[in-house]
A = this chain, B = another copy of it.
Amino acid sequence: MTTTVPETAVIPNFDDEDGGDRKMVIICSKGSLDMAYPALVLGNAALSEGIEVHLFFTFWGMDMITDKTMDHLKFSPVGNPATHMPNMVMGLPGMTSFATHMMKKSIHDLEIPEVREFLELIADAGGHLWACKMSADMMNIKEDDLFDRVDDIINATDFMDLSVGAQTLFI
């Protein structure tokens, strides 16, 4: 399909700071499976509604975009009273793997993609993935260690620029 843009056409400026276009910025600061999914699900839903989406990964959230860790995020039930199991039981060897297994099964049964595939989908749909420079420095993570769909490693000041006019969530 070809589209002819007349010379006098008004090209919409999607980077317009004051524009009416909706933008959502999600800060991902956790490395557990149960706090990775909310960002992925909301980011994906926002993109499907035509919203500009930026995911900014910081602190433990770096695990979501680090090649070595992103396929092995775990759900830990310790210290989470919502699991309705006593802490003594939750601290036993094997309980984290068990809880992680159960959660992955539920996610799979609902046909929700795994973390890496979900991030691929988000990037394919035009979502942006940003790594936090301070966190990368703290954890000695280099650009080569990151998932290849990450746009760039940026600092907190860059973050302020990209979040102009955005709805913001800290997860």
Q: With A86-B96, A87-B78, A134-B112 known to touch, is A159 a contact of B34 (CB < 8 Å)?
A: no
B79 touches A80 (CB 8 A): yes
Interface string of A58-76 (1 = CB under 8 A from B): 1110010000010001111
A12 within 8 A of B: no
Bound-state CA distance A73–B138 (Å) is 18
Interface string of A149-171 (1 = CB under 8 A from B): 00000011101110110111111
Bound-state CA distance A91–B161 (Å) is 41
Tell me, rounded to whole Å, the shortest Cβ–Cβ distance linking A33 to chain B: 8
B87 touches A81 (CB 8 A): no
Interface string of A80-98 (1 = CB under 8 A from B): 1110101110111101100
A125 within 8 A of B: no
Identical copies in the complex: 3
Give the interface of A toward B (CB within 8 A): 18, 20, 22, 27, 29-35, 37-38, 41-42, 44-46, 48-49, 51, 58-60, 63, 69, 73-76, 78-82, 84, 86-88, 90-93, 95-96, 100, 106-107, 110, 112, 134, 137-139, 155-157, 159-161, 163-164, 166-171
26 contacts between A and B (CB under 8 A): A32-B80, A34-B59, A34-B60, A38-B59, A38-B170, A41-B156, A42-B156, A44-B156, A45-B155, A45-B159, A46-B160, A48-B157, A49-B160, A51-B160, A60-B82, A75-B81, A76-B80, A81-B96, A86-B93, A86-B96, A87-B95, A88-B92, A112-B134, A167-B167, A168-B168, A170-B170
